Structure 1
Amino acid sequence: MDKLKEVICDLTNSSINIDDRPWTIEQLREWLGISRSHAYNLNRSGGLPKCCRVGRRIVYTKQAIEEWLAQQQAA
C-alpha cells in the first residue's frame, strides 16, 4: 500500500490531466501503474475510488478519481 501512496503522490503532483470521460478500471490501473489483479483486489476492498458498473464494465468518473486522490494525499 505504501508503493500505491507514493505513486498517487507522484501523479497528483504531475501535470497529467484527467479528461471528463469515465475511465475503465483498466485505464485507471494503467495510469496508476499497478497490475490488473491488484486493481481488482483494491476495487473489491474499497481501496480505489467509488465506481459504477456499465454492463460488465467498471468505470470511474473524473470527480470520483479527483476526490479519491485528494483523500489519499490527506492520509
Structure 2
Amino acid sequence: MKISPLSTDAVALVCVTLITFGVFIAGLLDVLDYIIIKGVLFLGFGIMLVFTISCALKNDRKENRLEDTPQDDSH
C-alpha cells in the first residue's frame, strides 16, 4: 500500500490544497494571528515541500515501449 500519490502532479495538487485549506480554516476561526498557528502552518508547508522535492528527485522515467522492440534511451 502506497501512502503517497503516484505522480508528482498529484503530490503538488495535494500540497497546494492542504496549504489553502489550512490558511482558510485558520482565517475563518480567527486564529491566524497567533504565532503558534503560523508556526504550525509554516512547519506543515516545510514538511510538504521536503516531501515533494524528495518525490520529484526519486521520480523514475517511464518508458512506454513494447518489450519486443527495444531502443536505446541513452541520449
Please report the TM-score for the alignment, with normalisation by the length of structure 2. 0.29
Instruction: Name the structure where strand makes up a greater proportion of residues.
Output: 1
Please report the TM-score for the alignment, with normalisation by the length of structure 1. 0.29
